[in-house]
């Protein structure tokens, strides 16, 4: 069943609206005006429902493509988010390179909340990617939480707990970039809606940091192989993708257009938009149907290796 069944707009439009809201830190009414300027009359409450429904689903499905942190040390801290007029606590963890590990929104700030967050973050990682050190502030809740997780076998016994203030500068700066997206909201109305929206914000931040590895291993100089592999490795989720290929001369541009048409026809992909400029070819397409992808692979004897 399509993820956009019974919706009044196409999936590309819905996902574009969710992406714009979660990435650029604008209000729903500003986004309503932006879409109206592009010929799409969408009410701000409709945009709100799209974000609440699809932002958590995007974050859930794209977790499979998160790059592992390779056992780097973690920086853990919490920041404040206003929910229904009261402060809630957004626990966040990043590695020493600034890549997001996990996040958790809690109404309380105590040992139970810290333990729940750290347990969630450790559970989502492979054992060989668990951190060698976890750096936190001086809050006593973290020490108790890490001690309890080690006793339960959920945290490696060799993991060191550090409380060095300057090492958390990187996550304090990352809080500020996330707050630029949260501030236009002017406060959430419930924990459920706040957590759903923040999942979209965090996902767009991870995209910007380059944490999602959704491309297959392919030879960059072979455009035909690129098209076959790229279109064959986006199953399970309708997504909007853009392909940018450097055009050396007119013959290459024509060959690229032929490859697009042939591949889209084989995979039953609908071409949304195609623009050929003097220097570049821009292709905007929908993703293939899972059944069409399997049939094409069977006919061609393809085996696509997904990047880790």
DSSP 143-200: HHHHHHHHHTTSS-TTPEEE--GGGGHHHHHHHHHHHHHHGGG--BSSHHHHHHHHHH
Give the neighbor-by-neighbor strand order of the sheet with 280-285. 241-246, 280-285, 271-276
pLDDT of 176 reads: 94
* Nearest residue to 81 via CA among 228, 223, 206, 187: 187
DSSP-derived letter for residue 65 is G
Whether the per-residue pLDDT at 109 is higher than 90: the answer is yes
Burial of 176 (0-12, 13-18, 19+ CB in 10 A): exposed
pLDDT in tens, 146-162: 999 999 999 999 999 99
* Nearest residue to 280 via CA among 252, 245, 238: 245
Assigned fold of 74-192: Nucleotidyltransferase; domain 5 (3.30.420)
pTM greater than the 0.85 cutoff: no
- Tell me yes or no: is domain 223-300 CATH 3.30.70: yes
CA distances to 94, 122, 186 from 159, in Å? 16, 12, 39
pLDDT > 70 fraction of the chain, expressed in percent and rounded = 68
Pairwise CA distance, residues 54 & 15, whole Å: 8
Q: Mean pLDDT score of the chain, rounded to an integer? A: 78
Strands of 1-83, DSSP E: 74-83
Asked which of 96-105, 242-251, 266-275 is least confident by mean pLDDT, the reply is: 242-251
pLDDT, mean of residues 184-201: 93
User: Using H for helix, E for strand and C for coil, what is the string for 117-139?
Assistant: HHHHHHHCCCHHHCCCEEECCCC
Higher pLDDT, 49 or 128: 49
């Amino acid at each position: 069943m399509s993820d956009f069944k019974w919706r009044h707009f196409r999936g590309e439009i819905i996902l574009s609206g969710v992406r714009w809201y979660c990435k650029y830190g604008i209000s729903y009414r500003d986004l309503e005006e932006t879409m109206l300027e592009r010929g799409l009359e969408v009410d701000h409450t409709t945009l709100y429902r799209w974000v609440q429904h699809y932002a958590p689903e995007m974050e859930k499905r794209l977790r499979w493509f998160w790059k592992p942190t390779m056992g780097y040390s973690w920086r853990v801290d919490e920041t404040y988010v206003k929910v229904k007029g009261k402060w809630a606590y957004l626990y966040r963890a990043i590695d020493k390179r600034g890549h997001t590990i996990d996040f958790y929104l809690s109404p309380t700030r105590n040992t139970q909340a810290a333990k729940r967050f750290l347990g969630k973050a450790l559970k989502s990682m492979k054992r060989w990617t668990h951190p060698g050190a976890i750096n936190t502030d001086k809050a006593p809740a973290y020490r108790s939480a890490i001690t309890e997780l080690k006793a339960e076998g959920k945290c490696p016994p060799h993991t060191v707990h550090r409380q060095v203030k300057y090492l958390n500068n990187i996550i304090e700066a990352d809080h500020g970039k996330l707050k630029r997206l949260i501030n236009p909201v002017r406060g959430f109305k419930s924990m459920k809606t706040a957590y759903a929206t923040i999942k979209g914000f965090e996902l767009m931040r991870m995209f910007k940091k380059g944490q999602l590895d959704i491309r297959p291993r392919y030879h960059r100089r072979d455009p035909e192989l690129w098209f076959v592999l790229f279109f064959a490795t986006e199953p399970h989720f309708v997504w909007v993708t853009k392909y940018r290929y450097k055009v050396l001369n007119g013959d290459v541009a024509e060959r690229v257009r032929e490859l697009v048409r042939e591949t889209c026809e084989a995979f039953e992909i609908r071409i949304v938009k195609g623009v050929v400029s003097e220097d570049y070819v821009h292709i905007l397409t929908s993703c293939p149907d899972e059944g069409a992808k399997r049939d094409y692979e069977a006919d061609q004897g393809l085996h696509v290796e997904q990047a880790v």
